[in-house]
Chain A
Amino acid sequence: MPDKSLDTHIIKEIRITPVEGYFGSPGKGRIVGRNSKSDNNYGINQREWLLQVTTDSGLTGLSNARPAMNKGSMEDLYNDFSDLIGQSLSGFFTVSSGRVTDINPRWADLIDQYGFLDVALFDLIGQALGQPSYTLLGDKVRDTVEGYDSSLYFQDLVNPAEGANAVAIEAAEAVEKGWRAIKLKLGRPGKWFEPYAGTRRDIEVVESVRATVGDDIKILVDANNGYDGRLDLLEDFVRGISDLNVYWMEEMVTEEIPGYQKLNEWRDKYTPNTLVVDGETHKGRDTIYWQLMEQGLLDAIQPDMLHMGFWQFHRLAQKIEASGYDTLIAPHNYNAAYLGLRADIQFGAATKRFVIAEDSTLDFELYQGPEYVFENGSYGVPRSPGLAVSIDQDLYDRVYRQHETLIN
């Protein structure tokens, strides 16, 4: 039965507000360096563009509008979201017996363009119905969701005196703080190093981190396509990490069939338990990633959590399930920070194929989500309705409100 109770919640206001989060506390945090391509350091902080969608019934759904602000302007967002004012919560999705079962075609394009919007809508719908956001997708399939520290970039160029050990030092700090899985950015041959020296450094980094964190920590590696055009060096790399128990290799080269055939061949030969993962830049279906999946060349697919949103990701998971392939789902989430991670955890709670959540480890003083208990490298799944995140209203009023853009 369609859930009529959503009719009574009308969107009254939308607020978009920049909120800084730091890698460690402000002024004392560490610098997160470059990856294989990016010229800019991620620096000491990253920011969310906090999206608050408020109804006339007093509910507020949260999300992070950063994907829109990366590409466009506040003026664009203001214009595109103005149509949401006055809309009922019942108008976006078909909700029946506590499950979202379809999307209203009227809003499909907007939600496709701004996937993060549906995170705020799922937050609101969950609150209105008194159930956690993940239950709108399905039953709970796990009580906790593992996260990996995704902030170990080219720290050797931030702290040159330590070389590869600079990464290992920070990996040890991550383990000390509780993470049981860490991702190392690689692909040094791609731009910043002479290619042979870059390959040697990549291997050295993995060796150094494994020696430092021990055998029980998952090590993931991500080259951001830094071995493009150098498959010879990629084979050297895969051979070089053969005894280091790497959990996954991500974006080692730009996605195309012949390169992935070689990568899979070397993976099978040198490090057969390592997953091959890719796909953060696309939305999954009708893409090269689907072709890779069909050829058995991709173990996990990684569209971005906030580009996709709950509904599109859920549909992708259903399509993979229906196709009969074994491909897993590991959402990209780096820029999504606090709220994207909570969305990721909610999605993982109801998605069998979910692997692990990308955690940028940023500290935000504004958000409160006590049910996401971080223990032994995993986050608890909240029982409270919606996303189970609130903001410190006093802090917001004192610090952030003067910077908000209000749509009403």
Chain B
Amino acid sequence: MASERIESVTVTPIPSSYRKELGKNAYIDNIGTQRLEWVVRARSTSGAEGISIANRMMREGTVETMLAYIKGALLGREIDDLLEITNGVVTGAGPGMDRWYRHNGWMTILAFDLVGKVRGVSAIDLLGGKKHDSVPAYDTTLYFQDFLNPEKGAQQVGDEAAEAVADGWQALKLKTGRGGKWMLPEAGMQRDIDVVLSVRESVGPDVKIYVDANFGYDNHLDLLDQFIKEVTPADIFWFEEMITHNVDGYKAMRASLAKHGSKALLVCGEVDRNPISEAFQDLIDDGLIDGYQPDIVGHGYLGWMDLERQLTGTGVRTIPHNFGNGVFGSYASIVWGAASETYVSLEDERNIPHYLTALPEFTNGAYALPTGPGLGMDIDEAGYAPHAKHENTMEV
């Protein structure tokens, strides 16, 4: 294994499709039907292959800058130098890798996948071993679907929620915050209420409902209080990003929950690009949030291992954000969720599978754990082939 190294890296843009059109959230116009994933494949001397996606690098960067970065970070790198491992568990970055991983968590997931495959062990074991036998998931595709089917309005979300439950999901997240941009604040709040109540009516009492406003109630704590009051009978499991993170606002939210008898969790943190930054640390220290949500691929496994250590004893649970990461993100989340003590639920975009082997079995609203080495997935070469003409290839 001493001479095992990364011999080639390819980066390929691959369209990823949803099962339906996704509408707006509180501040972004329609998500649409398709996104682009930037699939990175790093092959080692023995033919093992680590996989990840570099979507986040392409938000601000270009293919040219991304290729240069990946070349420096990975090409020719000894596999043993990717991660520091003690007694079969990863304890940190390999020598000199910190600077490459720092703002590119996706690369750490590739490292876990590749090292796992070369060693013939699961990334779950590299993370410390499994803590759960399955990983629950929630449908995260219930955007402002009422705008896409204006005739049905709020009921459109209720109908799509019922379809998700019929497909096996036992937890759903509803986008709210319509008054933040697209509607007048009070009218938006009323539509939010109609949507939540419509969904509860459609899915029955046993399905978990999460609510996410993408800060759509900023500057409207009065309306947020009213919203919480009206939807509390619908038994909300968590409220996410109802307002921008600040101690006073979250204290007010806690007070609203108590006043209206809601037992819902308060969660946030997907926008924290350098976790745990001060504003979120304040919320954690003051006991104002119950779940923390930096992105699974953006922050990566090493980052999340560190976060879980920092959150120990705070009561704050790990709920990595996963929207925009496609099927790969689901794999990455399942592996992380299996190994995390405090994991809650996987954010599932339910993309149509295409370039990766099929996800583990999904039953009763939860995924089984992958059994293969690394992340337990491989490229589905037949699904990948149509995209090969857009490969960017680098070799030693």
**A interface residues, Cβ below 8 angstroms from B:** 18, 20, 31, 34, 39-41, 43-45, 47, 69-70, 72-75, 78, 157-158, 160-161, 163, 190-195, 197-198, 398-400, 402-403, 405
Contacts and interface: CB of A to CB of B under 8 A. Distances in A.
13 contacts: A31-B34, A39-B59, A43-B21, A74-B182, A157-B13, A157-B390, A160-B386, A160-B390, A192-B58, A194-B64, A194-B67, A399-B150, A405-B183
A400 B21 contact: no
Contact of B36 (A34, A43, A161): A34
B184 interface: yes
Contacts of A403: 147, 150, 153
A160 B14 CA distance: 8
Nearest to B144: A18
A31 B33 contact: yes
Contacts of B179: 75
Nearest to A395: B151
A31 B62 CA distance: 23
B30 A43 contact: yes
Contacts of B389: 160-161, 163
Contacts of B63: 191-194, 198
Contact of B182 (A43, A69, A190, A192): A69
Contacts of B153: 402-403
Contacts, number: 91
A194 B392 contact: yes
A47 B180 contact: no
B76 to A, nearest CB: 20
B185 interface: yes
B62 A190 contact: yes
Given A18-B150, A34-B36, A158 B59 contact: no
A78 B36 CA distance: 36
Contacts of A198: 63
B354 to A, nearest CB: 11
A323 to B, nearest CB: 38
B387 interface: yes
Contacts of A193: 63
B263 interface: no
A160 B387 contact: yes
Closest 8 CB pairs of A and B: A43-B32, A161-B386, A399-B151, A73-B181, A191-B62, A160-B387, A399-B150, A194-B63
Contacts of A402: 150, 153
Interface in B299-333: none
A74 B184 contact: yes
